[in-house]
């Protein structure tokens, strides 16, 4: 598992495609090969034990795509294979600043020949269809023939294919000496992908004009060099790849366009291609870096997370989204979850141009018809939408009834993201462009999903799974009811706003959605007024769901450590019966609607629920860390921050071999900026309430707020805030308003703890 | 589907093996081939979408076993295939009185040759390892060669194999002219099955000494006769089969023993074998027949049910049980469910010797260790047992968490069956032989499965699925709480009884089970005293579960008929949220513990719940019919009876093609005997309160009660009761005690409606 874990950790990506840190040369040890293409998926036939009406028949999966990195070496008839060598020296480096993977090794083959190598690989951020490898290899004390086979292999499978099927057909391939191409087509979805490779060599730094052989097998093309090596000769292999898909090119032009991109890369040459790429990463870090002084591990952790998020999504294409594993593994299908709205949008809002988040919102708007269709399959009508739990193209992929059909709070996250986007950017145009249409469909869903309880004489929401998936099919989950009620209220607010400010837009949306203004608003208002919320009067906490207090009450720290994580040790009924919480549920609601509650209420609920939370979701600690900061509990906030920031680097849950937790990395970023930094938006203004963990000397972060880039630097003594452009902005620090102008720094003394006043 | 449905309906079985009514000759139309062997199963690898801890990896399936019935005909180089012929005449008859299948047809082949045939097939009830076919065939206006190929095919699969695998390996085969054998072995479970076939022919009634050819293929052996046919010649093929398994024979002797059985059958000859078989059926009907005059369809329905139950289980072997589909199809794996305890035991208690029911109880006792192991997997300890939801060998097969882990009321049914057996038979020895051991393990389970709610200050049972599987993961299901509490109380009662009456046995059980007498009894008593039961004071009904009245209340007859059955039209969440009930839940409890409730209470609960019940389980109408009789609502009782008695014959739910609903057939019997007949046991006495549906002239049934056989004959005017043996018995009819002695009939006037007095 160690090799697989490293392959995940050292993954590269450029938003368009991604590559696990698999070795170029043959490797017979344990490995999970992975090259993934943004937006290219395959609907694998699902495996279902007990079919329920409404289940989808297919699960869209991220595709393991043709392998372009392969370079095999044969020396004295022995294939170089690190699993079979004596390792003298091995080092893998992920250069996050400049975005490349470097590998150095020195090994002894069974023949006794020693090999020294240095490999650099990058996926260009500047030209997202190009990638390059420089593989320098030096057989020591060896004279004789070295065979180098640089190949492109399209005969690949997904390790997680349900029925061990091939997802690709090869439709064309050609090779001529040093350059070759394979075009593959996905079954069922008909995506075309053309990959071209070009391999040349230098010996001791000199161009070698030796003409290679071309090889062609069933699923594979290759360029083969046979070189007579003198003693201590060093060969450098330059392998360029162009990776194009039919998402961005006409199928008929794909082969030609691939050659164009490949030729461009070859013409640029390795060094130039590399330096343009590094420049792009410099820009990214200028907008999104977080520095931490006095805590190297925390520093490394946060940068790793920012790096991986930027490798996964660059935000130019509204058809793309962010899978929980990004381009680093197959699991969870690389599909879209509510993680995007709940975690990634807050990250991209602050660290990238507003278009990036707008595109993430538009992704859902584009899929509105499918969400309406999905709701219809479950018995809803009249334009009500239920967005899927997991999706690639808008269709539901998941098939666990308690999740697929019942974890409906995801609809709320999609509404909240619209609100959050506008609150942060001030871009109200989104509401009439796309937002209201989505909000109406969501509110229609909630309208039909509640029912009136004669017993309670209130509306109720029965049979749901909240964010805490360790409870299924519960009644009146406080969080779900909260976000449902808020969605109805917010939709009505947006309707009023557009009606008065943009009547023409309003009218056209009303028409498009067949909105029955009086009737629908009336019913929504009635539900918002009369929705039931479970509360325990005695403890004075919101109740996660009805009956939560009938459970045997225990605290997470009373759990036998050998029983943890409980999801690996307990049967599902036992988990469901227990009071233990997987991830923020009531607290997720308090986090989203913090303004509604005074600090004491937040603290009471935090203390009650956090102590029952086992944090067995990667998305759990960050929200808790933010709330711990909010109530001034910096020790707890820091402890929870540690659980999230190095989750993958330290592989807490022994699962990194499957890929990285990309979306939860945004949560880590949130726990610094919203947690320690106390970043909020209130009444259109940026608000900061920075705390600092005791062992940190300083930390800094950057925020893009309404097209101004601010840098916030926090020490134990003071907060320094500067604008990195020439604009002007007013903001609140510790509740006091400041006016910030271009390049003039503001200094505010550090308040060691947050007073808790609103 | 019609052919498959008929293949189910006309199935034959003899308790040891079963055969769907597949054609002997080749048939290219739609068909589900099926020959099943009692106790022989295969653990097929499960198909699971989302794995949960505690799921079993295998699902034990009833096995489609080698096909011994096949007889192919070739005439003028055309294979006889009814799917390709013009059908001039076709009739299939299931002779339930004498237990055989008869088929007559007249068809025209594409060559124009007309064929007339008469086939009789039976599986011997007298020698449960033997079967015979007589196939008489007469090609009309044909002169030429007729080829008859009688074969045994071991290359069979299960249609429901999850991964399309073979479950059998052939380990030996041999054939010599008219007689051949194949021994097959199941993969993984290593059951051996040897089948021998012997085929001879007569022409125009005369023995034909023609020596046949032997054929042998990979998975198949065959005997082939080529006959020169004169005009209107009739050939009769006598095919005998011996079907033996390693459950009853040493593997090393299996081939030899099979030949012995086969030779015995051949020596007897068809007619003698047949008449001994018919005699057995005569005995069965003498003990279990129900007659109904004035309603032919009802008469046919009930006899069909009694016939199929007797074909499925004969009760001699405690290793066998009754699968919901018996030997008539693959679905539900032919495994044991709580159907056995809840439905089949009441049937066999009255219609067979007490040993039959005792063996069904012993089946569970034999599996107690596995049930304890199963509970352990789910976190229980100290000898607590959770019997599996579905099993073949004591191990759990099912894998839906809401059923497998949460439908725990099955444990209650197993306890109740012990009580029921003793109540009916008076055989208290079962308690110290096996019963108490099981009861202790069940009570230990309930003890651990409850928890104390600080909120309610009572014990609660959280996260269960009741008999109404249209509710999952509910809290305090009234039925489950009722049966749990009763089990604790009954176990304590049995402990007290054995301690005082059989102290030696008591001591040895205490020792064997490491029973901590004071401590365990104290905790059980505390739970029995303080268990919470949901009740609605206003409606004055028991609540199916907490929160049931928060649902939108609708009645089943308000449902759009196009939406029925809801389990085929609604998504699972919608079913769960609705108030609709699949099968008796609260009413199952009232049925079991009827004595606790006055008629008004029963009526109130019946009216409330039955009107919300969609009866989408074959097990549903019978319990409701019994309770409708109990409250004197004969019209409702009769309507519900009709839904159960001809369920398969009329294929209400379009699912008979998968097999028959064997276990629910016992429910039909119950609705006559316990419903219309009002049969109960109270204080060790048989109680009858007969009603009669208006359109029936009379009905009669037999009851074996404490080794006396009673016949009850009911008309609109009177009840006639006689003892069919020379014993003496006292019983209560309409609340009045009568003394019945051998062969002296008692007559009691019919009371047109039940007064409702207890």
Of A1 and A107, the structure prediction assigns the larger pLDDT to A107
Q: Which residues pair with B114 in a beta bridge?
A: B108, B140
Residues of B in contact with A546 (CB under 8 A): 547
Rounded to a whole number of angstroms, the distance from the CA of A396 to the nearest CA of chain B is: 14
Contact between chains at A405 and B569 (C-beta distance less than 8 A): no
In this model, does residue B703 exceed pLDDT 80? yes
Per DSSP, helices labelled H in A611-690 are 620-630, 634-645, 662-670
Interface touch A53/B453, C-beta < 8 Å: no
The answer to whether residue A737 is catalytic is no
As given in the structure block, the two tokens for residue A369 are 């018809």
pLDDT confidence of A758, banded at 50, 70, 90?
Answer: very low
pLDDT, tens only, B559-616: 999 999 999 999 999 999 999 999 999 999 999 999 999 999 999 999 999 999 999 9
Using a CB-CB distance cutoff of 8 angstroms, which residues of chain B are in contact with residue A551? 451, 453, 462
Distance CA B361, CA B105 (A): 45
Ramachandran assignment for B653, one of left (phi > 0), alpha (psi -120 to 50 degrees), beta (any other): alpha
For residue A408, pLDDT over 90 is answered with yes
Per-residue model confidence (pLDDT) at position A588:
98
In this structure, are residues A184 and A172 in contact, taking their beta carbons and an 8 Å threshold?
no
Tell me which residue in B462, B553, B573 faces A378 most closely, judged by beta carbons. B573
pLDDT bucket at A753, cuts 50 / 70 / 90: low
pLDDT at A334: 74
Tens of pLDDT along B486-503? Answer: 999 999 999 999 999 999
Place of tokens 């090794």: A105
User: Nearest 5°: phi and psi at A655?
Assistant: -140, 5
Rounded to a whole number of angstroms, the distance from the CA of B453 to the nearest CA of chain A is: 5
- Average pLDDT over chain B reads 95
What is the edge-to-edge ordering of all strands in the sheet holding B736-741? B680-682, B685-688, B728-733, B736-741
Q: At what angle are helices B270-288 and B296-312 packed, to 10 degrees?
A: 110
pLDDT at residue number A329: 93
Q: Which of A341, A406, A469, A658 is catalytic?
A: A469
Q: Which residues pair with B95 in a beta bridge?
A: B100
pLDDT at B1: 57
Contact status, residue A152 vs residue A197, Cβ threshold 8 Å? yes
User: What is residue B753's predicted lDDT score, i.e. its pLDDT?
Assistant: 53
> CA nearest B26: which of B147, B131, B142?
B147
Q: Which of B568, B569, B573 sits opposite A406 (nearest CB)?
A: B573
Length in residues, chain A: 758
User: What is the predicted pLDDT for the residue at B757?
Assistant: 36
**Cβ distance of A455 and B49 shorter than 8 Å:** no
Cross-chain Cβ contact A547/B475 below 8 Å: yes
CB contact under 8 A, A454 and B549: yes
pLDDT band at B754 (very low <50, low <70, confident <90, very high): very low
* Cβ atoms A247, A319 nearer than 8 A: yes
Contact B462 A551 (CB under 8 A): yes
Banded model confidence at residue B751, pLDDT cuts 50, 70, 90: confident
The CA dihedral of B4, B5, B6, B7, to the nearest 10 degrees, is 50
Nearest to A47 among B49, B460, B574 (CB): B49
Q: In chain A, whose CA is at the least distance from the CA of B454? A: A550
What is the mean predicted confidence (pLDDT) over A366-378?
97
Which of A572, A575, A616 is best to mutate for the B interface (most B CBs within 10 A)? A572
Mean pLDDT of A467-474: 98
Could you tell me the CA-to-CA distances from B126 to B195, B250, B277, B311, B350 in Å, in that order?
18, 22, 5, 12, 22
Answer yes or no: do B462 and A50 touch at CB < 8 A: no
Q: How many CB pairs under 8 A join A and B?
A: 126
Query: Which residues in chain A are closer than 8 Å to B454, comparing Cβ atoms?
Result: 549, 553
B419-438 pLDDT tens trace: 999 999 999 999 999 999 99
Cα separation, B116 vs B87, in Å, equals 10
Q: What percent of chain A is modeled with pLDDT above 90?
A: 90
Q: What is the interface pTM, i.e. ipTM, of the complex?
A: 0.92
Cis amide leading into A565 (omega within 30) = yes
Look at the block and give the residue holding tokens 């011997």.
B124
pTM of the model: 0.94
Name which of A48, A50, A472 is nearest B473 (Cβ-Cβ). A472
pLDDT digits (tens, 9 = 90+) for B319-369: 999 999 999 998 876 789 999 999 999 999 999 999 999 999 999 999 999
Q: Which of chain B's residues have a Cβ under 8 Å away from the Cβ of A460?
A: 550
Residue A188's alpha-carbon distances to A42, A255, A354, B319, in angstroms, are 7, 21, 35, 49
Contact check, Cβ <8 Å, B454/A571: no
Helix (H, G, I), strand (E, B) or coil at A561: helix
pLDDT at B388 over 90: yes
pLDDT at residue A274 tops 90:
yes
| Nearest-by-CA chain A residue for B405 | A573
Q: Chain A: nearest CA to B501, how far in angstroms?
A: 40
- Percentages helix, strand, coil for chain A (3-state, rounded to 5) are 35, 25, 35
Is A310:A128 a contact under the CB 8 Å cutoff? no
How does pLDDT run across A586-606, given as a tens digit for each residue? 999 999 999 999 999 999 999
pLDDT given for residue A333 in this prediction: 65
| Residue of A49, A379, A553 lying closest to B46 (CB–CB) | A49
Partners of residue A202 on adjacent β-strands: A207, A236
pLDDT score, position A757 = 36
Burial class for A510, CB neighbours closer than 10 Å (0-12, 13-18, 19+)? middle
N-term to C-term CA, chain B:
48
- CB A131 within 8 Å of CB A122: yes
Residues B446/B487, Cβ–Cβ less than 8 Å? yes
Residue A400 gets the label, from left (phi > 0), alpha (psi -120 to 50) or beta, of: beta
* CA–CA distance, A11 with B516 (Å, rounded to integer): 59
Residue B6 near residue B214, CB atoms below 8 Å? no
């Amino acid at each position: 598992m160690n090799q697989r874990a490293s392959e995940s950790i050292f993954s590269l990506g450029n938003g368009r495609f991604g590559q696990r840190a698999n070795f170029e040369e043959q490797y017979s040890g344990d490995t999970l090969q992975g090259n993934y293409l943004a937006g290219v998926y395959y609907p694998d036939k699902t495996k279902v034990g007990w079919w329920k009406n409404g289940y989808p028949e297919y699960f869209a999966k991220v595709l393991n795509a043709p392998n372009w990195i392969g370079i095999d070496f044969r020396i004295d008839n022995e294939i170089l294979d690190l699993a079979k060598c004596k390792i003298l020296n091995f080092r893998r480096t992920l250069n996050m600043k400049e975005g490349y993977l470097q590998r150095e090794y020195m090994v002894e083959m069974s023949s006794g020949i020693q090999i020294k190598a240095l490999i650099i690989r990058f996926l260009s951020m500047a030209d997202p269809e190009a990638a390059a490898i420089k593989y320098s290899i030096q057989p020591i004390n060896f004279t004789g023939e070295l065979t180098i086979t640089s190949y492109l292999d399209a005969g690949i499978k997904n390790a997680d294919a349900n029925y061990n099927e091939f997802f690709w057909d090869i439709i064309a391939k050609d090779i001529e000496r040093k350059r070759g191409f394979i075009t593959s087509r996905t079954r069922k979805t008909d995506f075309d992908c053309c990959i071209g490779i070009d391999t040349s060599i230098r010996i001791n730094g000199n161009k070698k004009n030796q003409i290679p052989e071309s090889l062609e097998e069933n699923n594979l093309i290759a360029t083969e060099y046979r070189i007579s090596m003198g003693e201590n000769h060093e060969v450098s292999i330059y392998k360029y790849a162009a990776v194009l898909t039919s998402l961005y090119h006409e199928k008929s032009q794909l082969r030609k366009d691939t050659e164009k991109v490949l030729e461009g890369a070859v013409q640029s040459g390795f060094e130039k291609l590399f330096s343009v790429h590094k420049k792009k990463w410099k820009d990214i870090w200028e907008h999104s870096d977080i520095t931490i002084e006095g805590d190297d591990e925390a520093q490394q952790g946060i940068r790793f997370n920012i790096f991986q998020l930027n490798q996964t999504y660059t935000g130019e294409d509204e058809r793309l989204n962010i899978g929980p594993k990004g381009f680093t593994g197959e699991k969870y299908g690389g599909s879209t979850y509510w993680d995007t709205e709940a975690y990634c949008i807050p990250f991209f809002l602050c660290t990238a141009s507003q278009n990036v988040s707008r595109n993430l919102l538009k992704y859902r708007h584009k899929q509105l018809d499918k969400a309406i269709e999905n709701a219809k399959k479950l018995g809803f009508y009249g334009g009500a939408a239920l967005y899927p739990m997991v999706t690639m193209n808008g269709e539901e992929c998941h098939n666990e009834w308690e999740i697929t059909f019942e974890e409906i709070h995801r609809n709320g996250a999609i509404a909240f993201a619209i609100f959050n986007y506008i609150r942060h950017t001030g871009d109200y145009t989104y509401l009439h462009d796309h937002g209201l249409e989505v909000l109406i469909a969501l509110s229609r869903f909630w309208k039909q999903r509640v029912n009136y309880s004669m017993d309670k004489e209130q509306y109720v929401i029965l049979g749901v799974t909240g964010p805490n998936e360790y409870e299924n099919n519960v009644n009146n989950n406080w969080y779900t009811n909260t976000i449902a009620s808020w969605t109805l209220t917010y939709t009505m607010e947006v309707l009023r706003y557009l009606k008065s400010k943009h009547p023409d837009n309003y009218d056209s949306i009303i028409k498009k959605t067949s909105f029955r203004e009086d009737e629908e608003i009336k019913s929504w208002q009635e539900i918002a007024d009369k929705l039931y919320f479970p509360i325990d009067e005695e403890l004075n906490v919101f109740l996660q769901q009805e009956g939560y207090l009938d459970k045997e009450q225990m605290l997470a720290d009373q759990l036998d450590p050998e029983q943890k994580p409980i999801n690996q040790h307990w049967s599902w009924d036992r988990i469901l019966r227990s009071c233990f919480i997987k991830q923020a549920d009531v607290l997720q609601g308090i986090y989203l609607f913090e303004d509604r509650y005074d600090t004491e209420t937040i603290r009471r609920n935090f203390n009650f629920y956090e102590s029952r939370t086992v944090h067995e979701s990667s998305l759990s600690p960050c929200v808790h860390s933010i709330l711990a900061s909010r109530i001034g509990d910096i020790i707890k906030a820091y402890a929870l921050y540690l659980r999230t920031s190095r989750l993958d680097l330290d592989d807490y849950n022994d699962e990194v071999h499957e890929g990285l937790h990309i979306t939860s990395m945004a949560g880590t970023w949130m726990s610094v900026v919203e947690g320690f930094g106390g970043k909020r938006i209130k009444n259109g203004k940026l608000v900061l309430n920075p705390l600092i963990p005791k062992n940190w000397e300083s930390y800094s972060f950057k925020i893009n707020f309404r097209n101004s880039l601010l840098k916030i630097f926090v020490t134990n003594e003071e907060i320094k805030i500067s604008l990195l452009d020439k604009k002007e902005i007013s903001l609140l620090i510790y509740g006091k308003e400041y006016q910030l102008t271009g390049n003039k720094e503001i200094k505010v003394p550090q308040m060691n703890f947050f007073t808790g006043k609103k």
